[in-house]
Amino acid sequence: MVTAGDFRNGMTFEEDGNVMQIIEFQHVKPGKGAAFVRAKVRNVISGSVVEKTYNPSAKFPTAFVERKDMEYSYTDGDLYYFMDPETYEQVPISPSELDDNFKFVKEQMICKVLSYKGKVFGVEPPNFVELEVTKTDPGFKGDTATNATKPAVLETGAEIKVPLFIEEGDRIRIDTRTGEYMERA
């Protein structure tokens, strides 16, 4: 059992027969009245997101979500295939189960596939990935304002902002949670 006062981002719990995952939460202590927890939660099966308020002492059963390492193999039409490295079984996943940060994943990368009672509801890419810059404008000499950036296209097709000194062919490290450039690889 988990209480609403113990909520953390990413935590999963069961409510009214649904499995909910916390996206954001905030403990609120108003000047008058009792404290409460305001949370933005996602129904992991349907994908719907709602904002709710909870009494901090409300209790919910914990939902055990399986997080399994699987290798992204290939895309075939509108399905993405992931391979279980132990059984070599291919698991097809629809694009609706993938977050925006999946644009940083290329073939043969290991991702965490999230499922509840056998139903896949999400894919977590690695926190940091190294990708090659395939297209970017050249930086200009004297263009040295602090934190100046330019757009760059990566080998996966994703577009991010990079510092001016990055050139085509450079390998860079990206934080997939924020989609930001970290450093040269």
The domain that contains 108 carries what CATH number?
2.40.50.140
Q: Indicate whether 49 and 75 sit together in one domain.
A: no
Domain boundary among 124, 157, 172: 124
Q: What is the pLDDT along the chain (185 residues), one digit of tens a residue?
A: 889 888 888 788 998 888 888 888 999 898 888 899 999 998 887 778 899 999 999 999 988 888 899 999 998 888 999 999 999 989 888 887 787 888 899 889 999 988 888 788 788 889 899 999 999 888 666 556 667 888 999 999 899 999 888 888 999 999 988 888 988 87
Q: Indicate whether 162 and 132 sit together in one domain.
A: yes
Q: Is the pTM higher than 0.75?
A: no
Could you tell me if 160 and 180 are in contact, meaning their C-beta atoms sit under 8 angstroms apart? yes
Q: Indicate whether 175 and 134 sit together in one domain.
A: yes
Which pLDDT score is estimated for 143?
Answer: 58
Q: Indicate whether 82 and 101 sit together in one domain.
A: yes
Residues contacting 4, CB < 8 A, separation 6+: 37, 39, 54, 55, 56, 57, 58, 59, 60
Question: Sheet holding 90-93: strands in order across?
Answer: 90-93, 79-83, 66-76, 110-116, 119-124
Q: Indicate whether 10 and 38 sit together in one domain.
A: yes
Domain boundary among 35, 60, 85: 60
Which pLDDT score is estimated for 179?
Answer: 86
Q: Indicate whether 71 and 99 sit together in one domain.
A: yes
Show the domain range for 20.
Answer: 2-60
- How many structural domains compose the chain? 3
Q: Indicate whether 7 and 55 sit together in one domain.
A: yes
Which pLDDT score is estimated for 142?
Answer: 59
Q: What is the CATH number of the domain that holds 19?
A: 2.30.30.30
Domain boundary among 60, 83, 100: 60
